[in-house]
Amino acid sequence: MESKLEELKARLREIRDLEGAAALLAWDQHTCMPAGGALARMRQIALLRRLMHERATDPGLGRLLEELRPYEESLPYDSDEASLIRVARRDYEQAVRIPSDFVARLSEHTSATFQVWREAYPAGDFARVRPYLERTLDLSRRLAGFFPGYEHIADPLIDLQDYGVRAETVRAIFAGLREQLVPLVREIIGQPPLDDACLHQFFPEQQQLAFGNEVLRCLGYDFTRGRQDKSPHPFTTSFSIGDVRITTRVAENALDEALFGSIHEAGHGMYEQGIDEKFEGTPLASGASFSVHESQSRLWENLVGRSLSFWRFFYPRLQALFPDQLGNVSLEDFYRAVNKVECSPIRVGADEVTYNLHVLMRFDFELRLLEGELSVRELPEAWNARMAEDLGIMPESDREGVLQDVHWYNGVIGGMFHGYTLGNILSAQFFEAALRAHPEITGEMEAGNFATLLHWLRESIYRHGRKYTTFELVRRVTGDELRIEPYIRYLRKKYGELYNIPDSNVNQTIA
Amino acid sequence: MESKLEELKARLREIRDLEGAAALLAWDQHTCMPAGGALARMRQIALLRRLMHERATDPGLGRLLEELRPYEESLPYDSDEASLIRVARRDYEQAVRIPSDFVARLSEHTSATFQVWREAYPAGDFARVRPYLERTLDLSRRLAGFFPGYEHIADPLIDLQDYGVRAETVRAIFAGLREQLVPLVREIIGQPPLDDACLHQFFPEQQQLAFGNEVLRCLGYDFTRGRQDKSPHPFTTSFSIGDVRITTRVAENALDEALFGSIHEAGHGMYEQGIDEKFEGTPLASGASFSVHESQSRLWENLVGRSLSFWRFFYPRLQALFPDQLGNVSLEDFYRAVNKVECSPIRVGADEVTYNLHVLMRFDFELRLLEGELSVRELPEAWNARMAEDLGIMPESDREGVLQDVHWYNGVIGGMFHGYTLGNILSAQFFEAALRAHPEITGEMEAGNFATLLHWLRESIYRHGRKYTTFELVRRVTGDELRIEPYIRYLRKKYGELYNIPDSNVNQTIA
């Protein structure tokens, strides 16, 4: 059995190393590559992905996993080896269900759709990309069809990003969340708006990057096992547990862009850096799921980075760096500025409170599109109606509406968006658990010390990598099911104070 | 036949793309990679190289090349398709002659030797690495042994870098060269030395890099199809014809280091960037040989970059950038400084005149080691004796002697060093041919215009990639065999003027 396990590890390591190599090629494409390298680079990445796919669907791997089944069953569920075999089998079974020619067709179609979207988006021309999106919907349903026996047609698509999470479960969670968020937004909008003009002065790029760097070091992002570069769209990528890189973009007239973007990516980055080294070269060397990953980027970005405790330590430093711009802005006013709530049409620019309403809408639409209850043709109108209903605003064009996010135009419809909001919900639930275990964390944050928090997150979440699914991990870490209450409590308390919302309203909705 | 040719191209493209991917991983390792990524990166590069080797030695490729032989023979020798099949067959036949287990053993041994050398080198401890080098010599001879029927045992090793060049041919060329160089060095050393103190002031890195950048753009290195980064050891690497990158290192107390290093690498870079786009993804998309490649880096570095014409244009710009350091240094004094001749023990720091004596010695030793006429044990003593004989100096320790170059400690003995001097010889022969065709090049250089020269080099050399061997290319470009006379004429004229050597001496040795 020993030798079979070794063979399994060798096969998985090869898949993983091809994945790491392909990821470096993609990182370079987005950060360093001169324009002239584009064509050959696409070819090189496609080749590495093909070699990965061949290995990931090799019948020999399937046989080996079957031979290892009795061994796996003899081990505790959460042992490293049982987990390795279990997760590897899950990946294999997902990969072999999807015929290779379908993979190729889907990949060709999404490339073509992306190209068309790139032109249709700035022009706000949804009609141009509509036939492509209709075919994407068709292919998304066919992709789900390779996994018969599902409860909801979105379930197999969710499984690919977030194994074991069911559409109906998410739908119920999200319905409860929306019931709380819509009135909260109304209450906030009824109050005088906060002023964020102080963020929109001139802040030279080099100084912004230097400050961000100091913040990331302080939080615990390890620059000996990662680095930060600039790219048009910020992302985190990993080539091994010892090389996890993040990117950022800087706006010299918007201090929040690079700063919170960097903390967000560093949250993803610290997760990947915190995986147990013994999982290196295996499929366990990655985050538990898209949702749990997002819970960490949002925890660091919002629950830490947008907290008053965080700024008690960092604001004097920021003021010293930008005396002309911030010398006359108080800590409290700066804290208010970085937490301004505003109903706006763009998801990625949205504040903590309204953000999830953008996501909930997309998730609902995905389910209804897949169910056949909504057509692609009806989508722009439905989008605008829902923005009016939830946020009281109307996008100026489809550029600010249905065309704004690349996801549907560069992949399948379904399986992705829910993770953004599950991530937010989990960020609060995990943070509450951390504070329960270590109430000193708040005080430490005020002293610029994030070690206890990072250590707790590493021990509870990061080191396990992909060993547990989202819900398994939540139960293990919090001793409870996934719940929206911590998140609602967090938003109500923070924004109740920021916007002077009467306590009666706050108490009314919280148990 | 069409479909067989397509299959050949598809197979070769895959090998080439794996090579490009591996090269990017190595580039990143030397320029960007955080320390934590080292272990996984070695694994990833080794995997890509193994996949390359499997494909490069696939019997199916061999059969295909045999089936294409009649087609190749029906085409003109220098047609693209005949050249593609010919060069691919040469690569295949070289690759399959060397057993895979030998490749693995050699690779393991050179890695181990390199590790030991890294420690032995700074300590000047030759004894430590000697047993490794003895085994390297043994493996080098065995490598040659896989190619029976050679004239000299070094020939198969040279063939791997510089196909068709014979050790005896090089030996004869080098003997003639040494006969000229040793007296020239003596004459120069007999004159008052030139002063290069102006180069050894404080020159801030950012300004050096900015100036270098301007120079490279002006010469014709294409930054839309390349980029320059910093690395401990400068190198040029190519991931495709559209993405050819160079690196440099900067010394803030030595202006010549980054400047001439950058021009040198840009010479390699412009060669690779100038290969005909139609060869992309084939084995023709590379330089003709190590020697020809070096001829281009040296042509741009020395015949262009260290010429008075070049500095007539650039020196006022350099002075404007560094007014404190160079404001009182005349053009002529600066020109003398960058061309100072000095007998010193280190090859890579050597001037144009003494440089080749370092190489000639290494080449002679390689032949004698391979012939069994010199033992590894005798090497340090032989080294020091030869330095005394040729340059009149004695290395202070083996660190400045036999340990200084990594080549023998990171590969085989034989096949490499001759290329540095053949490159120098060729640089002058090619440059003379360029001036014969376009006498206006000198005047253009004085106006900062290098377009005619670059165009001529592209048309004559670069665009052909690997289509021709070194000697084929020389004949094609110059209408003559490889000859040392242009190089000797160049050195005699330039250094005769710089050092005021009486004309009688100059005329005495030149036909």
Q: Within 10 Å of residue A327's Cβ, how many Cβ atoms? A: 9
pLDDT of A432 strictly over 90:
yes
Confidence of residue A2 (pLDDT cuts 50, 70, 90): confident
Give the number of beta-carbon pairs within 8 Å between A and B: 117
Strands of the A243-248 sheet, one edge to the other: A228-230, A243-248, A236-240
Could you give the angle at the alpha carbon of A228 between the alpha carbons of A226 and A233, nearest 5°? 125
Measured CA distances, B95 to A249, A440, B465, B470 (Å): 46, 64, 20, 20
User: What percent of chain B clears pLDDT 90, i.e. is strictly above it?
Assistant: 96
pLDDT confidence of A1, banded at 50, 70, 90?
A: confident
| pLDDT given for residue B231 in this prediction | 93
Q: Does residue B41 belong to the interface with chain A, where contact is any CB pair within 8 Å? A: yes
- B39 and chain A: CB distance < 8 Å anywhere? yes
Beta strand pairing status for B243-248 and B228-230? parallel
The mean pLDDT of B234-240, rounded to a whole number, is 97
* Interchain contact A231–B (C-beta under 8 A): no
Decide: helix, strand or coil at residue B47. helix
Cβ separation B240–A39 shorter than 8 A: yes
Tell me if A36 and B281 make a contact (CB, 8 A cut-off).
Answer: no
C-alpha angle with apex B424: B421 to B427, nearest 5 degrees?
150
- B30, B216, B239, B275, best to mutate vs chain A, most A CBs in 10 Å: B239
Binned at pLDDT 50, 70 and 90, residue B504 comes out as: low
Which H, E and C letters describe A205-274, residue by residue? HHHHHHHHHHHHHHHCCCHHHCCEEECCCCCEEEEECCEEEEEECCECCEHHHHHHHHHHHHHHHHHHHC
Coil, strand, or helix at residue A447? coil
- pLDDT exceeds cutoff 60 at A481: yes
> Per the CB < 8 Å rule, is B242 touching A280?
no
Average pLDDT, chain A: 96
pLDDT at A227 over 90: yes
- B37 in A contact zone (CB under 8 Å): yes
A46, closest residue in chain B (CA to CA) = B17
Show me where the domains of chain A are located: 2-156, 157-511
Please state the rounded mean pLDDT for residues B58-72.
Answer: 98
β-bridge pairing A243-248 and A228-230: parallel
pLDDT computed for residue A509 by the predictor: 47
Residues of chain A with Cβ-Cβ distance to B18 below 8 Å are: 47
Q: Which residue of A has its CA nearest to B17?
A: A44
Nearest in space to B389 (alpha carbons), one of B191, B188, B182: B182
Please determine, for residue B510, whether its predicted confidence score (pLDDT) is greater than 60: no
Instruction: Summarize pLDDT for A154-203 with one digit per residue, the tens.
Output: 999 999 999 999 999 999 999 999 999 999 999 999 999 999 999 999 99
- Residue A352 annotated in active site: no
Which band of pLDDT confidence, cut at 50, 70 and 90, is reported for residue A503?
A: low
The average confidence (pLDDT) of chain B is 96
Give A507's pLDDT tier (boundaries 50, 70, 90): very low
Tell if the CB–CB gap between B222 and A36 is shorter than 8 Å. yes
Cβ-in-10-Å burial (0-12, 13-18, 19+) of A232 comes to exposed
Candidate from A34, A44, A227 with C-beta closest to B20 = A44
Q: What is the mean pLDDT of residues A9-38?
A: 97
In whole angstroms, give the CA distance from residue A140 to residue A133.
Answer: 10
Give the pLDDT confidence score for residue B185 in this predicted structure: 96
* DSSP 8-state secondary structure symbol assigned to residue B304: I
Distance CA(A289)–CA(B431), nearest Å, equals 61
Nearest CA distance, A226 vs chain B (angstrom): 6
Q: Do A34 and B281 touch (CB under 8 A)?
A: no
Q: CA-CA distances (angstroms) from residue B457 to A186, B219, B267? A: 71, 12, 11
pTM of structure: 0.94
pLDDT level of residue B221 (50, 70, 90 thresholds): very high
Is the pLDDT at B109 greater than 60? The verdict is yes
pLDDT for the residue numbered A363:
98
- First and final C-alpha spacing in chain A: 53
Within 270-299 of A, beta carbons closer than 8 Å to B belong to 280-281
pLDDT digits (tens, 9 = 90+) for A62-110: 999 999 999 999 999 999 999 999 999 999 999 999 999 999 999 999 9
Note the pLDDT tens digit of each residue in A41-63.
999 999 999 999 999 999 999 99
Give per-residue pLDDT as tens, A260-315. Answer: 999 999 999 999 999 999 999 999 999 999 999 999 999 999 999 999 999 999 99
Q: B206 at the A interface (CB within 8 A)?
A: no
Q: What is the pLDDT of residue A502?
A: 78
* Residue pointed to by tokens 């040029």: B236
In B, minimum Cα distance to A50 occurs at B14
pLDDT of A7 strictly over 80: yes
* A505 within 8 A of A185, measured Cβ to Cβ: no
Find, among A237, A199, A184, the residue nearest to A25 by Cα: A237
Q: Is B479 left (phi over 0), alpha (psi -120 to 50) or beta?
A: left
Residues facing residue A238 across a β-bridge: A244
Task: Say which of B265, B301, B366, B432 is annotated catalytic.
Answer: B265
Which of B36, B37, B242 has its CB closest to that of A36? Answer: B242
Rounded Cα distance, B175 and B173, in Å: 6
Alpha helical stretches, state H, A98-190: 100-123, 126-145, 155-161, 167-189
- Which of B47, B52, B206, B217 to mutate to test binding with chain A, by most A CBs within 10 Å of its CB? B47
The answer, yes or no, to whether residue B507 has pLDDT greater than 60, is: no
What Rg, from alpha-carbon coordinates, does chain B have?
23
Residues of A within 8 A of B222 (CB-CB) are 36
Q: Render pLDDT for B326-357 as a digit per residue (tens, 0 to 9).
A: 999 999 999 999 999 999 999 999 999 999 99
Look up residue B45 and give its amino acid.
I
- Whether the predicted pLDDT of B505 surpasses 70: no
Which residues have CB under 8 Å from A210's CB, separation 6+? A321
> What architecture is domain A157-511?
Orthogonal Bundle (1.10)
Query: What are the tokens at A298?
Result: 């949002």
Considering the candidates A19, A72, A265, A432, report the single residue annotated as catalytic: A265
